[in-house]
Amino acid sequence: MAIISFILGIVGNVISLLMFASPIKTFKQVVKKKSTENYKGLPYITTLLSTSLWTFYGLLKPGGLLIVTVNGAGAAFHVAYVILFLIYAQKNIKVKTMKLVAALDVGFLGAVIIVTLFFLKGGMQITLVGLLCAGLTIGMYAAPLSVMRTVIKMKSVKYMPFSLSFFQFLNAAVWSAYSVLVKDYYIGVPNGIGFLLGSAQLILYMTYRNKSSSEESEEKMEEVGSAHLFKRAIQMQDFNEGDQETNMKNRSLNKGNSLPKPSIIRQYSQNIKKTLSLSPYELEKFNKEDIEKGFKESQ
């Protein structure tokens, strides 16, 4: 039994580490977009408090090395997550989150450690910390209930990462089995509840996964369509501008080619004016003079 419980403890450590590392993908998107969007900070705050208290519980309990290692690593992960959330959250959400962090992860945790070490002795220390850990672990598993409500309302799993839900489900299952072997009810009860809530999250994910995929496909099609329309508009604008420049050049060329030489215009206009101002007798005389002049020039 001891060997089996140790193996389950190792498996539980590995799964727990994967669970604690699963939000890395989510926070990569947060850093990339520089916004927490609709992500909730409460799950990370409660998990930080829970892992910190479980680390303290492992230190108090004999043979609690496996509890210390996994929860110490989990606390380190969630310190980073909470800091990133505070950096990229909106101002009003940031203020609320900072108040929760100060109240739970600093004030409450510090008060529990001080009371346990200085005012309690022996088994009472493990009892107090064990009960608090059990309650907070239930809170950790129940924290995504607000996200589940958002999923049902939006009919989308965009803000409920599958990896986190899946590893929470596995983690709760393994630690539930471990608690039965070592007869630690402080571990068993909250992880049993976590197993049920994890199952509910997976069912919800499978229900709304296809709807989320179809919505994302429509958004991508709209973005592609808008890009094509914008590109087409630019091409049409360039084409029209080119036509206008060509028409202006053609008009200038046609205008230039259609104009007669100034000397010809001046010569004919003078003759026309002169001719129109003469009387019939003078016109006949003018014509004779032009004929004689032309005859002499030809000789």
Q: What does the DSSP assignment read for 267-289?
A: HHHHHHHHHHHS-HHHHHHHHHH
pLDDT value at residue 78: 95
In the predicted structure, residue 230 carries a pLDDT above the cut 80? no
Please tell me the distance from the alpha carbon of residue 228 to that of residue 16, in angstroms, as a whole number.
Answer: 46
Give the residue-averaged pLDDT of 193-212. 84
> Mean pLDDT over all residues of the chain?
77
Q: Could you read off the pLDDT of 275-288 as tens digits, one per residue?
A: 444 454 454 554 45
The answer to whether the CB of 113 falls within 8 A of the CB of 56 is yes
Q: What is the mean pLDDT of residues 61-89?
A: 93
Q: Measured between alpha carbons, how far is 248 from 106 in angstroms, rounded to an integer?
A: 76
Cut 0.85: pTM above it: no
Closest CA to 193 of 179, 208, 206, 209: 179
Share of the chain above pLDDT 70, in %: 69
Tell me: pLDDT of 229 over 50.
Answer: no
Q: Is the pLDDT of residue 273 over 80?
A: no
Q: Which residues contact 291 (CB under 8 A, 6 or more apart)?
A: none
Q: In whole angstroms, give the CA distance from residue 46 to residue 75.
A: 11
Per-residue pLDDT tens over the stretch 92-121: 999 999 999 999 999 999 999 999 999 998
- Residues contacting 11, CB < 8 A, separation 6+: 174
Which carries the bigger pLDDT value, residue 170 or residue 268? 170
What pLDDT is recorded for position 227?
A: 46
Instruction: State mean pLDDT over 214-227.
Output: 48
Task: Please tell me the predicted confidence (pLDDT) of residue 5.
Answer: 85
Q: Is the pLDDT of residue 75 over 90?
A: yes
Is it the case that residue 293 has pLDDT exceeding 70? no
Which residues have CB under 8 Å from 220's CB, separation 6+?
Answer: none
- Residue 212 is predicted with a pLDDT of 56
